[in-house]
Amino acid sequence: MIDKKIYSKKEVTIFNGVINLIKKGDNLYTIKVSDIAKSADIGKGTIYDYFGSKEETISKALIYYMNSEMESSYNRIMIKESFKEKYYEILLIIKDSYKSNLFIVSSILSSAGLKELYKHLADEGCNTNYFFSSINNIIVHLLETGKKDGIVTVEEDFYYFVMAIRGSVSTFSHYIGKKEYYKDINVEKAMDTSYKILLKSLK
């Protein structure tokens, strides 16, 4: 497939500097190079030894992080046995990613794309395709499990199934992002509703 880039130790240190800032709640667009340096506990100049500009640094850090998150998410899902467990795991992943300010991930799982992020991401070889296809793999896997478990019974094309899953997942993403508007709904209820909607569309 698409080969994964190998990064040097220092590059990863810098990436983590960026990620921690975002986890801390810093706005992607107002991060300063000096902040990254401080966060990574290195000199400002070092960043420029490894990347050409602030934009490149942040872009690559995001790609790197999203890919590694994707990998661990993939593993979390694979470990689970049943269709239902796997689906709920996805919802939990979204919940976790939101808590750590890395909503980017779930934001991509839903509608809003990378387009708003640094143009750099588009230019660079740094494939967001890889990211997209990883999500597809997860969806394919989920569907297969669903068929095995006798949950997916409706006859539809692949696009339908992908959208059924993405749609029901997005209801939970929306809930998580706007909890304050749904004071009387707790997380379990939101998850259950998401799952209920999914089941309907797969029967």
Partner DNA sequence: AATGAATGAGAATTCATTCAT
Partner DNA sequence: CATGAATGAATTCTCATTCAT
* Among 40-48, 77-85, 103-111, 140-148, the segment contacting a copy of itself (CB under 8 A): 103-111
| Token pair of 87 as six digits | 């689906």
What distance in Å separates the CA atoms of residue 165 and residue 110, rounded to the nearest whole number? 10
| Token pair of 59 as six digits | 């872009």
Nearest to 25 by CA among 109, 99, 92: 99
196 binds, among DNA, a copy of itself, none (CB under 5 to 8 A by kind): a copy of itself
What distance in Å separates the CA atoms of residue 190 and residue 92, rounded to the nearest whole number? 11
Per CB under 8 A, contacts with a copy of itself among 30-89 are 30
Residue 28 is a binding residue for a copy of itself (CB under 8 A): yes
Q: How far is the CB of 121 from DNA (least distance, A)?
A: 16
Given a contact cutoff of 8 angstroms between Cβ atoms, the answer to whether 38 and 26 are in contact is: no
Integer-rounded Cα Rg, in Å, for the chain is 19
Residue 166 is a binding residue for a copy of itself (CB under 8 A): yes
Residues of the shown chain interacting with a copy of itself in the complex, contacts defined by CB under 8 A? 27-30, 103, 106-107, 110-113, 115-116, 129, 132, 154, 156, 159-160, 163-164, 166-168, 170-171, 173-178, 181-182, 185, 189, 193-194, 196-197, 200-201, 203
